Amino acid sequence: MRAALETLEATFQGEVIEPGQDGYEAASTTVLVSGHPAVVLRPATVADVQAAVRFAAGNGLAVAVRGGGHSFAGFGTNDGGLVIDLGRLAGAEVVDAGSGIVRIGGGATWGAVATALAPHKLAISSGDTRGVGVGGLTLSGGIGWKVRKYGLAIDALVAAELVTADGGVVRASTQENPELFWALRGGGGNLGIVTAFEFAAHRTTDVFHARIAFPAAEAEPVLQGWAEYLRTATEDLTSVVVFANPFAGGPNAPVEVLSVVDTDDREAADAALEPIRRLGTVIADEVEPRAYADVLVDAPVPPPGIRLASRSAFVEREQVPAALRILAEIGAAPQSPVLAVRAVGGAAAQVPDDATAYAHRRAELMLLTTSAGPAPVLEAARPALDAIWDRLAPHTFGAYANFLSGTAESDVAAVYPEKTYERLAAVKRTYDPENLFRANHNVRP
């Protein structure tokens, strides 16, 4: 490997970071996981990415591709392999202000993108956190504060350029390599390293951000009423309920309904929020206009040694009452993980299930548990977590890859229904027949 690395270094314009060198510790670690790779490459150009891929394949190295480094499963680093950190490919350029076409580097983060687009009054439906990568979030779907109005992040994607396992460069859109384009919109990092994404951004104004909270004892009626209201509410409203947060009182933590109303008209925002206030006894009611870029937050980075575990599933309409009843019971018990319910209907549900490799469009809600602690503590809590999900199982389906720490075959099967998996595997056979890119919810060629 040494000779190959020296050959690579002769033309590599980015950084090559090896154990013992300055910056190695930081370069080995993602936001959520630490690792000990043999080498970290930080490409500065597409040619660097091509060289990195050929170097990995030629030396039989396991590859971890890192965008924003927020993968709950820890895909952004490894032990003894190669990390390709895309952080230097982070540009965000407005290609055509009229049509809103923007070109974004494969290693950009959503906060930087929102900030870059703000002066143009443009935005892309993405996530809720500034540091999350455009790469990871987009390739598995992307559920954010405008999902009910503008759909998933992939719904605004118009093209992508990627380096495939043979080191070649391929462009995908509805016109160019359309099957690859289908696969990229949900298939995670399975198909190659995306060096640039092109999105059709939408015009945005400031939006209203709201936090309306209720007592823990009212969790069930609030959840049920909220889900029912969201079914007919304006698509300007996107909303998430968070409760049972152990850091805010566990079973006594307030039930927080967090919403964004995609309008700068206060009356319209109030009209959208008023039915939420009527769901129970309001104990906090904070509503303020914000630039869209300021709606995205900086998530706290967990202290060293603390892992976050995330698990998710979807709920379709008929199962909503039963799923929420069980969820409220779970939240009322001690030792519950943080529970969150995201509304994912609206525009996201207008796209057919098979139009992209994200195949859970019919869902009305996504349920999410998050647990935090040192790895042994999380391991010890696993049976209790499994019991929670076993109770929910009759009322849920699938899983959202971006909120899924597990990487077992059953996890991959939850992310990709059988037909989706088979179609993805066929694309994988074309672009990555040796499964070089397997640090992901892996689709085997």
| Beta strand 39-42 pairing with 82-85 | parallel
**Tokens representing residue 224 in the block:** 């049920």
For residues 431-440, one letter each, b for 16 or more C-beta atoms within 10 angstroms of the residue's C-beta and e for the rest, the string is bbeeebbbbb
What is the C-alpha to C-alpha distance for residues 259 and 238, in angstroms, rounded to an integer? 6
160 vs 320 by CB, closer to ligand FAD: 160
Distance CA 184, CA 190 (A): 8
Positions 363 through 402 that interact with ligand FAD (CB under 6 A)? 402
Closest distance of CB 306 from ligand FAD, Å = 13
Nearer to ligand FAD, 216 or 363 (CB): 363
Neighbouring-strand partners of residue 207: 290
Interface characters, 401-440, with ligand FAD (x: CB under 6 A):
-xx-----------------------------------xx
Min separation Cβ 180 and ligand FAD, Å: 13
Neighbours of 407 (CB within 10 A): 16
- C-alpha distances in Å from residue 142, one per residue of 18, 148, 186, 381: 33, 12, 9, 28
Q: Which residue has the tokens 């990995």?
A: 56
Does 92 interact with ligand FAD (rule: CB under 6 A)? Answer: no
327, two tokens: 């969820």
Contact between 188 and ligand FAD by CB under 6 A: the answer reads yes
Among residues 41, 53, 139, 276, which is the contact residue for ligand FAD, using CB under 6 A? Answer: 139
| 188 neighbors 135 (Cβ within 8 angstroms) | no
Under the binding rule (CB under 6 A), the answer on residue 194 touching ligand FAD is yes
* From candidates 8, 41, 51, 66, binder to ligand FAD by CB under 6 A: 66
Number of chain residues interacting with ligand FAD (CB under 6 A): 34
CB 100 within 8 A of CB 122: yes
Among 71, 177, 259, 263, binds ligand FAD (CB under 6 A): 71
Name which position in 127, 250, 331, 445 contacts ligand FAD (CB under 6 A).
Answer: 127
Residue 196 near ligand FAD by CB under 6 A: no
Binding site for ligand FAD (CB under 6 A): 30, 65-72, 75-76, 86, 106, 127-129, 132-133, 135-137, 139, 142-144, 188-189, 193-194, 299, 402-403, 439-440
